[in-house]
Amino acid sequence: MNIAEIATNRRTAKAFDPDRKIPQAIFEQLRVLLRFSPSSVNSQPWHFMVAADAAGKDRIARAAPAPYAYNGPKIRNASHVVVLCARTTCDDAHLEAVLAQEILDGRFPAPDAAASQRKSRLFYVDLHRHVRQDIRPWMEKQVYLALGTLLLGAAVLGIEACPMEGFDTGMLDAELGLNAKGLSAVAIVALGYRSSDDWNARLPKSRLPDERIFTAI
């Protein structure tokens, strides 16, 4: 596998074949990618809503009225659609749940390691909760790490994807009852196989040249 070749050939799908479905075994791999995505201090401030049938996809598509109506067919015709959500608060209960899972998974062989991890993570979380007061944008940044992991992983598995920010966040939060769960939608990713009508598949990719975006220091 040449990861650079995969990256240069990956294109956002603009139209999906509604008759092709991602095999369950393949989609399970995408779920693993999302679950094991990196996040700052392993905070994992996310939740993923998954729609695999017409009813679920239609609920998500309701949040794409004008001026986002062009995203409706992508959502409805995709095989699977994932709504990537961020927590609305990063409270101590969530942090303790993360720590408990780390203990269960055997992350702390030394007796005082768990306490050290708690202290270290709380320092960074409090930096954003109380000092910078940007905890929600900080949590959304972690969700975008998961988004990037999903997009590259899908390309490796031969799955086309379309990431979307073009939707009404308030409508989607209400439709899926996200705020009551302490969540808010950040992005939508439609996944599946592109149709022959996908004009983007026939166009060359365009990126700024290396010398414009890299600087050796």
pTM: 0.96
User: What does the mean pLDDT of the chain come to?
Assistant: 97
Active site residue 175: no
CB-based contacts of 157, cutoff 8 Å, min separation 6:
26, 29, 30
- Give the whole-angstrom CA distance, residue 80 versus residue 133: 35
Q: Which of 21, 57, 141, 165 is catalytic?
A: 165
Q: Hunting for tokens 């693993």 — which residue is that?
A: 32
The residue extents of the domains of the chain are 3-89+140-213
11 CB-side CA count, 13 A: 17
Report whether pLDDT(1) > 90: no
The residue among 81, 39, 32 whose CA lies nearest residue 190 is: 81
The 10s digit of each residue's pLDDT in 67-86 is 999 999 999 999 999 999 99
Q: What are the structure tokens assigned to 79, written together?
A: 């095989």
Active site residue 119: no
- Give the whole-angstrom CA distance, residue 79 versus residue 123: 41
Active site residue 141: no
The 10s digit of each residue's pLDDT in 180-211 is 999 999 999 999 999 999 999 999 999 999 99
Report whether pLDDT(179) > 90: yes
**May I ask the CATH architecture of the domain 3-89+140-213?**
3-Layer(aba) Sandwich (3.40)
> Do residues 141 and 4 lie in contact, with contact meaning Cβ atoms separated by under 8 Å?
no
